[in-house]
Amino acid sequence: MRIAMIGTGYVGLVSGVCFSDFGHDVICVDKAETKIEMLQAGQVPIYEPGLEALMAKNVAAGRLSFTTDLAAAVDGADAVFIAVGTPTRRGDGHADLTYVMAAAQEIAQAMTGYTVVVTKSTVPLGTNRQVKQTILKANPEAEFDVASNPEFLREGAAIDDFMHPDRVVVGVQNDRAGEVMADIYRPLYLRDFPILTTDLESAEMIKYAANAFLATKITFINEIAGLCERVGADVKEVSRGIGMDGRIGNKFLHAGPGYGGSCFPKDTAALARIGQDNAFPMQITETVMRVNDEVKTRMVEKLRDALDGTFNGKTVAVLGVTFKPNTDDMRDAPSLTIVPALIGGGAKVRVVDPQGFAEGEELLPGVKWMDDPYHAVRNADLVVLLTEWNEFRALDLKQMAKKMETPRMVDLRNIYNEKSAKRAGFEMYLGVGR
């Protein structure tokens, strides 16, 4: 199959590289010339484990290339995937479809022969039908179908998720489009990974419903964690106990400082707005959004309590600022609430993060970036574990405690425990929900 991938952001680049590894001929398109130049030079503009090597392998095999010329990429393609950004629109919570519709118009002018235009971006219900109308208006003679193919990639594990998915969701309007999509995903079908074929609206809804449910699960355990702190229970034991129930499952039950990233905040906001527009308020989703914001604020107060009620004049070492480990993504990360609160309160903040500097330098002005956690905690009043990078899972707590002015730790990921921290010399250890 010949595939054009429009957009080389996180979803587009990972999907394009993985499709080429299936054996398809893939051309990735982006308007950003500097990004395409980087890719053509073999450099990956995002951090995703394994992506650079897989990209190099398929470029060398002649199956993967990069261009700014959308018309040339779309000409003769069997399928064109739209994988451009759909950020939350300012003011109303809607997903901004400007880039999607602009791509659809350009695709319409460049198509030759029958083409399936596939929306990979996360889009509100009805968008694929809008894409179809946009193409028809721009090119009434076009021979094409539209399809919805939402992504379910976890940053930091995206390649494995693509190659070993829980399911692939494909929304189509007829068998002809369905057969093209089946050919594209045949390598997964032959290995017995489930391919769920639905109508367009159901495919669009599956994406939002899945992310809203996972955000709800995270927020639920974070709220339980707050209650555990009041009544003396341990949220890790509670999570383990309820996670053993097959109806609940143990994933996404780790208490922490709230969810962030490129998907959950944007998609819960969009789903809430879809409900409002259709006179059916999504009350659970709206509550999840509010409680998640409250969780981040509660973490700030936890840090304030650990510093005897004030940040002013204190030195704080923050370990991890990306929204999760194994990514450089800072979008809606809890650190964007917590670190500015520390600085605004008069604290001196030192940050250590293996990949966070590229985005974090601009987003977190006023912090001192350091490479080594042991240097960061020297003469500090508090160390905060904010993102659970592997580098922070086996720290020498005794060495850290000796270097600190006042050895206090707030562990917002429950990596350690009070007993081991105090045995190492920490005078205070605070986790979440414990």
Task: Note whether 380 and 354 are within 8 A (CB).
Answer: no
How far CA 37 is from CA of 40, 106, 115, 267, 373, in Å, comes to 5, 22, 28, 31, 35
Judge whether 264 is annotated as a binding position.
no
Judge whether 179 is annotated as a binding position.
no
Phi/psi of residue 384, nearest 5 degrees: -115, 125
Judge whether 402 is annotated as a binding position.
no
Count helices and strands (H / E) in the chain.
18, 14
Q: Collapsing DSSP states into helix, strand and coil, what is residue 154?
A: coil
Judge whether 260 is annotated as a binding position.
yes
Judge whether 336 is annotated as a binding position.
no
Q: What is the DSSP string of 300-355?
A: HHHHHHHTTT--TT-EEEEE--SSSSS----TT-THHHHHHHHHHTT-EEEEE-SS
Judge whether 308 is annotated as a binding position.
no
Judge whether 255 is annotated as a binding position.
yes
Return d(Cα 9, Cα 18) in angstroms, integer. Answer: 14
Judge whether 323 is annotated as a binding position.
no
Judge whether 35 is annotated as a binding position.
yes
**Residue 263 is a catalytic residue:** yes
Judge whether 132 is annotated as a binding position.
no
Q: Are strands 64-67 and 144-148 parallel, antiparallel or unpaired?
A: unpaired
Judge whether 30 is annotated as a binding position.
yes
Structure token digits, residue 24: 């398809």
How far CA 132 is from CA of 78, 144, 149, 348, in Å, comes to 16, 9, 15, 53
Judge whether 153 is annotated as a binding position.
yes
Q: Single out the residue of 335, 334, 432, 325 nearest to residue 388, CA to CA.
A: 325
- Give the position of tokens 């005794």: 398
Judge whether 266 is annotated as a binding position.
yes
Task: Note whether 73 and 27 are within 8 A (CB).
Answer: yes
Q: What is the DSSP string of 230-278?
A: HHT--HHHHHHHHHTSTTT-STT----S---SSSHHHHHHHHHHHHHHT
The one catalytic residue among 18, 28, 228, 263: 263
Judge whether 134 is annotated as a binding position.
no
Q: Single out the residue of 26, 129, 16 nearest to residue 74, CA to CA.
A: 26
Which residue numbers belong to the known binding site for NAD(+)? 30, 35, 86, 122, 155, 266, 331
Annotated binding site for substrate: 152-155, 207, 252-256, 260, 324
The residues annotated with a catalytic role in the active site are: 263
Q: Could you tell me which residues are annotated as the binding site?
A: 30, 35, 86, 122, 152-155, 207, 252-256, 260, 266, 324, 331
